[in-house]
Chain A
Amino acid sequence: MNDTGIRDIWVYLSASPLLGLTVTLVAYGLAYRVYLKANSSPFVNPVLTSVVMLIALLMLTGTTYDEYFEGGQFVHFLLGPATVALAVPLYQQLERLRELWLPVAISLVFGVVIAAGSSIGLAWLLGGSAEIQMSLAPKSATAPVAMGISETIGGIPSLTAVLVVITGITGAVTGTRLFELMRIRDDSVKGIAIGVAAHGIGTARAFQVSNQMGAFSGLAMALSAFATALVVPWLVDLIGI
């Protein structure tokens, strides 16, 4: 009796988006608390911790990703308006941007070519299949752009989405430490570098450091999305894969 009751509730919950949405927010809430407890150490990056917790939970309960995404999609949807919202901090940095537009433009084009070229080259050197090379190529661009590019050049779009998130986490975890080692103190330089390499997850990390770093990272992410869409298919043609 009790057992069937629980089963009924589970049947209801697994068919409704409520559970997926709620566990996403609860997992992130926990992950964020851990992050604060650890004095904002990038190693307990909240995206990383919550993704690990959620995958463990879904596997333990035998829930598929599609079932989870019924609820997860509401959070995922907000990526669109959040991307548009980046215009606001960017506008607040207008003065600084006017000073720096030329270095920013040069660094962006350079960064986008390096990001795609090095991932194709390294994957090839390490014996990765052409499909993997192409899935990796647009990994530094923001997810929707990267997936579109991956499809045009012969990668696997849904795998690219995952690689994009892992790339973002890698950038967010290592970025600040790398800049320290390179003795870079200028937040606009750090912002551009992390935004080109690690898109929105890098930008989220950058906003935790300073508003200026966040704004420049958001700018780099937006412009490199443009640049990646233009440069990567051309680069792939050039290499001739």
Chain B
Amino acid sequence: MTFLSGITILLVYQLVGEVTVRLLSLSIPGPVLGMVMLFVTLMMRGKTPDSLENASTALLSHLSLLFVPAGVGMMSHFGRIADEWLPITLALFLSTIITMVATAGVMQMTSRWLARPESPGGQRDE
């Protein structure tokens, strides 16, 4: 039962997110807005109900599985990918690496400079 109410909370937030996005014709997806709304709710309540924690842990522990059906969709695009395989594969691969390296570099630098300087010497212990 607790798992069921956790899932219900998630679906309600997703539903509210989807409806809001459509009503206000926003360009962000409903689940992302639902996530922000749930985050704000948790901040206001100050704690996570057990049922919600169980349901989200269960879903997130196999997050990779959820991408499999979209990935299989690759088979419908073999022709297109074969036609322009070089720009597609190289641009995708290099751009992903560049993005990760650059973002990590910026985050590393800015967190050293800008994180609340309460403890001298930058990084605080975890």
Residue contact B108 to A214, C-beta cutoff 8 Å: no
Other-chain residue from A75, A86, A132 in contact with B88 (beta carbon distance below 8 A): A132
Count how many chain A residues have C-beta atoms less than 8 Å from C-beta atoms of the other chain.
Answer: 110
Provide the bound-state CA to CA distance between A91 and B56, in Å.
12
Q: Is the CB of B91 within 8 A of A122?
A: yes
Q: What are the interface flags for A190-212 relative to B under an 8 Å C-beta threshold, 1 for contact and 0 otherwise? A: 10111011101101110100001
Q: Which of B60, B76, B84, B90 has the most CB of A within 10 A?
A: B60
Chain B residue at minimal CB-CB distance from A73: B69
Let me know if B70 is at the binding interface, CB within 8 A. yes
Q: Mark B96-126, 1 if CB is under 8 A from A, else 0.
A: 1111111111111011011110000001101
Interface status of B94 (Cβ within 8 A of chain A): yes
Let me know if A81 and B10 touch, CB within 8 A: yes
Task: Find A72's partner among B63, B68, B110 (CB 8 Å cutoff).
Answer: B68
Chain A residue numbers with a CB within 8 Å of B94 are 118, 122
- A85 in contact (CB, < 8 A): yes
The residue of chain B having its C-beta at the shortest distance from the C-beta of A81 within the complex is B10
- Expressed in whole angstroms, the minimum distance between the Cβ of A64 and any Cβ of chain B is 8
B111 touches A189 (CB 8 A): yes
Query: Which residues of A have CB within 8 Å of B114?
Result: 102-103, 106
* A59 with B31: CB separation less than 8 A: no
Cβ of B23 within 8 Å of any chain A Cβ, yes or no, is no
Which residue of chain A has the shortest Cβ distance to B60 in the bound complex? A85
Contact of A88 among B30, B56, B80 (CB under 8 A): B56
A residues with a Cβ closer than 8 A to B are: 24-25, 27-28, 45-47, 50-51, 54-55, 58-59, 65, 68-69, 72-73, 75-76, 78-92, 94, 99-100, 102-104, 106-107, 110-111, 114-115, 118-119, 122-123, 126-129, 132, 136, 139-140, 142-145, 148-149, 152, 156, 158-159, 161-171, 174-175, 178-179, 182, 184, 186, 188-190, 192-194, 196-198, 200-201, 203-205, 207, 212, 214, 218, 222, 225-226, 229-230
